[in-house]
Structure 1
Amino acid sequence: MELGNRTEEPLIKSTTLTDRRLPELDAARGLIMMLMALDHTMELVCRKGFFEFWAMCVPDYGSLQAFFTRFITHTCAPGFALIMGAGMVFFATSRRSVGWEEARIIRHYWIRALVLVVIMLTLENFVWQQAFPSRPDSPVVSLEFGVLFSLAGSMALGSFLLKAPDGALAGIGLTLALTTQWIITSRLGSPEPMSGVSLPLMFSFVPSGIRTPTLGIFVLYPVLPWFVFTLFGMILARRIQADRPGTGKVLPLAGSALIAAFVLLRTTGGFGNTHPVKGSGIMAFLALNKYPPSLAYMLLFSGVNLLIISSFSRAGHFWARKDNPLQVFGKCPFFFYILHLFFFLAVGKLFPAPPGYWGGYACWATGLSALYWPCRAFVKLKARSSPDSIIHLF
């Protein structure tokens, strides 16, 4: 994350910008990458996966351990989008300072978005199709649009809003969040909620798919619900840049307020809860719809991500060393993302599934240890390269 005039002060005390990085956000992103790898280890190696889909019942997690292993990874997708939005603002500011015009900044982000989509449709789709082979009656070509698609779309759209006022960003984000929930709630009220989902609606708001003998398209991460988090991140970056009075106190308070709003919404039920609380206990209360994110999900994990960022900004700088795994993974998220998919795919193909969740945790920790070294080498390569080098697209 690019920010400058870095001292040993917390995140919110930085006031001027150059072309250096903000360790607090890199560390938060590194933690998110590590949690994401846990989720994918469970899917690719242990064959333990859950699917919180809007048109399906809440999954039967079976145990608190299974539930919380999945639940903590819900932090990841919102965190990706939020920190990406912040990074876009910091990057644009640093590039304007060296003479880049807005058209060049927009072009840069559209190229990066295109790279994300190409990698998703080739390398990432290959991994998931190898992990879960097609059935005999599957389409000849299957295209799956996952988290990289939502990030690419959010990046492309966000590039046009880099100079928009905070109020406009907040208004767009709130409108998209409410619209997503309204569309999903309306469709759940029909006898066949997944019928008649058009391609534009599928790519924008409603996870769904189409299937013919020759082509299958499945969109798990439509752009606009996740764009809400990117807009939130852009506003956050503006606050950090401006260093407005009380920002240091507001960040944890804002995170806590969002979580409190989640608790209120979940307790009262109704609009905003795609899947209402059924039964008693912590699992029933926290079983949220992710695909697409419900309002309850958005509130909770926006708050959690703010608290994570705030914690890193206040926890001292033992984690800010350049060779700390949080920093290493946080500085090469795209490289880590693709590398970890292939790594855990290979482990899942070559070795039997480890016993239980504890075996999965051991596999995850071992995998992170192995991935650390190529990621560290890649970070060093990026640091030595020109700011205009193609390597920075990755």
Structure 2
Amino acid sequence: MKAARLASIDMLRGFVIVLMALDHTRDFFGLAPFQPEDLSQTTPGWFMTRWITHLCATVFVFLAGSSAWLRGARAAADVPPDARPALSRYLLSRGAMLLVLEWTWISFSWQFGYNVTIFQVIWALGAGMIVLAGLVWLPRWCSAAFAAVLLFGHNALDGWQPGGLLWQALHQGGFYPVAGNYGFVFVYPLIPWLGVMAAGYAAAPVFRLPAPERQRKLLLSAAALLAMFVLLRTWNIYGDPAPWSPQNKGFAFDVLSFLRVSKYPPSLQYLCVTGAIGLALLAAFEHVRQVRPLMLFGGSPLFFYTVHIALIHALAGVYFMVRYGATPTFIGGALKLPDGYTPSLATTYAAWLAILSIMYGLTTLWQRRPNLGSDVH
């Protein structure tokens, strides 16, 4: 039973890795002079290509918290006191390693230079592990309370934007200048993501339950989150700084407006709808045969993430040079696309499939190396 549960976690993690690769492929191969979620310019195809990838960060961070609990609890009902020092040390060291990785190789991979230091999902994971290293010393209900306060309360701070390094890192996000043109780019402000990781830690005992009870709780939780999203969104009550509204462009665009929740920072509504989908998929993956590529990617998420951005960036550069004789550039903060280029979803999806094929081969070789197993934990 335990193996099946862990297999479903790897399947879900692998699934969202595949979606993540689609989003990053779009970033490089599908550059467009508009944001995919800009309802005044986008199409349903571009919008949904972006929207479905919202699932990735929520699942990654939640499962990282759950994996921490599973690592410490092993076969026990909870993390025993004598296991907490080792778990705390592991989370501190792992978190610090992820921060260094984000600020060095990952930031470089996005730019092939070092004009800014980027704080994205690896930063959120690393910082979350460091915070979790302290929470493991407390009763698990403290992690649940910590998560609830951050997740339900952070949108109350949306109207307060004092700026400053600390507040941008915690909630506001954006560019923080350091010297000249160099600065920090906070894409993933921490407050809500720390809440998601703590929630994953607090909820992890569900994975020790018998399969029928576990699946029932996962589906009930998914239904509750979806109902909360629909309630909050329908009446624009609370939980997202960008309310939905009729678009006067047909029913499809009204639906897109309803779905257009805020990711930077992630709103409560964003976390509700992506969390609902993630939990439902987690239950569903226990009823399907294991898919080799998803299990492979889900078992080595850090390797995949570390390699795939630079790979996509390099291949996109080759593609643009061969086809258009120039690469996209930013001039004065504005995107300049090569002459003759038009954004294409077909090209984006074809490139995505090619990237997945290459990463399948590379990840297979990585897992075949001696004395190397999963990097899930």
TM interval, shorter chain, is 0.7 to 0.9
Match of 2:94 in 1: 112
Amino acid at match of 1:367: I
Distance 1:392 1:318 in 2: 19
- Cα offsets for 1:263-283 (capped at 9, x unmatched): 111001132121001324111
Q: By how many angstroms is 1:25 displaced?
A: 0.2
Distance 1:183 1:99 in 2: 36
Q: By how many angstroms is 1:118 displaced?
A: 1.2
Q: By how many angstroms is 1:99 displaced?
A: 11
Q: By how many angstroms is 1:209 displaced?
A: 2.5
- Cα offsets for 1:122-172 (capped at 9, x unmatched): 111112223xx8xxxxxx852221111111011111122235444322211
Amino acid at match of 2:169: F
Distance 1:123 1:167 in 2: 36
Contact 2:229-2:269 at 8 Å conserved across structures: yes
What SS does the corresponding residue of 2:241 show, helix, strand or coil? coil
Amino acid at match of 1:77: A
- Cα offsets for 1:65-106 (capped at 9, x unmatched): 000000000000001001111111111223999997422221
Match of 2:20 in 1: 36
Contact 1:50-1:59 at 8 Å conserved across structures: no
Match of 2:332 in 1: none
Q: Does 1:89 align with 2:69?
A: yes
The 3 A distance-change label for structure 1 pair 49 and 178 is farther
Q: By how many angstroms is 1:284 displaced?
A: 0.7
Match of 1:339 in 2: 307
Distance 1:86 1:177 in 2: 17
Distance 1:41 1:251 in 2: 31
What SS does the corresponding residue of 1:292 show, helix, strand or coil? coil
Q: Does 1:385 align with 2:371?
A: yes
Q: Which of these residues, 259, 279, 289, is aligned with residue 286 of structure 1? A: 259
Q: Which of these residues, 270, 285, 289, is aligned with residue 312 of structure 1? A: 285
Match of 2:103 in 1: 121
Stretch moving more, 73-82 or 240-249: 240-249
Distance 1:334 1:183 in 2: 32
Match of 1:376 in 2: 364
Distance 2:345 2:312 in 1: 15
The 3 A distance-change label for structure 1 pair 124 and 351 is same
Contact 2:88-2:136 at 8 Å conserved across structures: no
Contact 2:300-2:376 at 8 Å conserved across structures: no
Unpaired segments of 5 or more residues in structure 2? 248-253, 321-340
Q: What are the equivalent positions in structure 2 for 1:186-197 lying under 5 Å apart?
A: 186-187=159-160, 193=161, 196-197=162-163
Contact 1:87-1:237 at 8 Å conserved across structures: yes
Match of 2:202 in 1: 235
Match of 1:210 in 2: 176
Contact 1:42-1:49 at 8 Å conserved across structures: no
Distance 1:204 1:225 in 2: 9
Match of 1:137 in 2: none
Match of 2:330 in 1: none
Q: By how many angstroms is 1:343 displaced?
A: 1.0
- Cα offsets for 1:36-92 (capped at 9, x unmatched): 00000000222249769xxxx956451000000000000000010011111111112
The 3 A distance-change label for structure 1 pair 349 and 239 is same
Q: Which of these residues, 161, 165, 172, is aligned with residue 199 of structure 1? A: 165
Task: Count how many residue pairs are aligned between Structure 1 and Structure 2.
Answer: 348
Amino acid at match of 1:69: T
Query: TM-score, normalised to structure 2's length?
Result: 0.84
Distance 2:342 2:97 in 1: 35
Match of 2:335 in 1: none
Match of 2:221 in 1: 254
Distance 1:242 1:180 in 2: 31
Match of 1:17 in 2: none
Distance 2:69 2:189 in 1: 23
Stretch moving more, 254-263 or 92-101: 92-101
Query: TM-score, normalised to structure 1's length?
Result: 0.80
Q: What are the equivalent positions in structure 2 for 1:40-119 lying under 5 Å apart?
A: 40-48=24-32, 60=40, 62-94=42-74, 101-119=83-101
Contact 1:61-1:67 at 8 Å conserved across structures: no
Match of 1:326 in 2: 294
Match of 1:181 in 2: 155
The 3 A distance-change label for structure 1 pair 180 and 171 is same
Distance 1:339 1:147 in 2: 15
Instruction: State the superposition RMSD in angstroms.
Output: 2.9
